[in-house]
Amino acid sequence: MSATASKPRGRRPKVEEIPDAGSGADERYRAPALDKGLDILELLATQPHGLTRAEIVKEMDRSASEIYRMLERLVVRQYVMRTPSGDRYALSLKLFALANMHPPLSRLINQALPIMDDFTRRAEQSCHMGVYDRGNVLISAQINSPSGWSFAVQRGARVGLLDTASGHLLLAYADQGRFNAMLAEHTPLDGEVPISADQLAHTLAAIRERGYLERESAQSFGVVDISFPILGPDNTALATLTCPYIRRIDRHVGPGLDDVREHLREAAQALSFTQGMVR
């Protein structure tokens, strides 16, 4: 085996070993503790299944005590999490959430709002957009029906990952690593409806087969949740569009459930990366 092949994958040099870029200012403004933390994050980013503390120490070529202290701080600040088995460390989704808080998410919201507005006018129903956030779902955009009769979930609300249409869509269209991380970060919200692992697996498989979710709400009587994914370039869900459909029983004749579903499908497809809308 060559020397190159035997070098540990993902290994990070000590701060002292990082080549000088040629500026005295680079040396003056070094922050060794920060460099250690960033080195750990970069190392774990290359390890989809995480590493044990001993493996991190070996890869980093540093003393066990300094790595342990830094790891514990990263866990406390939720940038790193312990895997369910408890003996390995892996990146949480906090960095992903931070990266998506403003430019990408803001662009998605800005593109979504006129499309959502058009949907509400055609469907005479409200709709909201949900994104994954720290173990549950954040309602990042919401538009009421212009008809004055609708059911709505407020923008900024956090709803459950495991008992809502939005949460199930996000899980159904997540790759395996992200799926596991989302479940690991999940914490039940007030009133969350429990679901078994078998029920969840069955629900997610049905969503992937149909391409959307439609069912009676688990939170409110008389509401049918219709939800479609907004897909990224890798066919994972960037967000979801959900309509909490309510049926009018007075003399007004509005769009029926089938029409509303198709309007929502068109809106989600218009925002999906495959349609060239999300950049």
CB atoms under 10 Å from CB of 245, counted, come to 24
> In the structure, what pLDDT confidence band is assigned to residue 216 with cuts at 50, 70 and 90?
very high
Is pLDDT of 151 > 50? yes
Per-residue pLDDT, averaged over 193-207, amounts to 95
To the question of pTM greater than 0.85 for the whole model, the response is no
Domains and CATH numbers, the chain: 3-92 (1.10.10.10), 98-275 (3.30.450.40)
Residue 89 is given by DSSP the state E
pLDDT in tens, 55-81: 999 998 888 888 888 999 999 998 999
Burial letters for 188-215: b for 16+ Cβ neighbours within 10 Å, e otherwise?
ebeebeebeeeebeebbeebeeeebbbe
pLDDT tens-place string over residues 255-264: 999 999 999 9
Q: What percent of the chain has pLDDT over 70?
A: 86
3-state helix, strand, coil in the chain (%, to 5): 45, 15, 40
Please answer whether residues 237 and 182 qualify as being in contact, where contact means their C-beta atoms are separated by less than 8 angstroms: no
Place of tokens 């994958």: 9
CB 116 within 8 A of CB 141: yes
Mean pLDDT to the nearest integer, 102-127: 88
Predicted confidence at residue 82, as pLDDT, reads 87
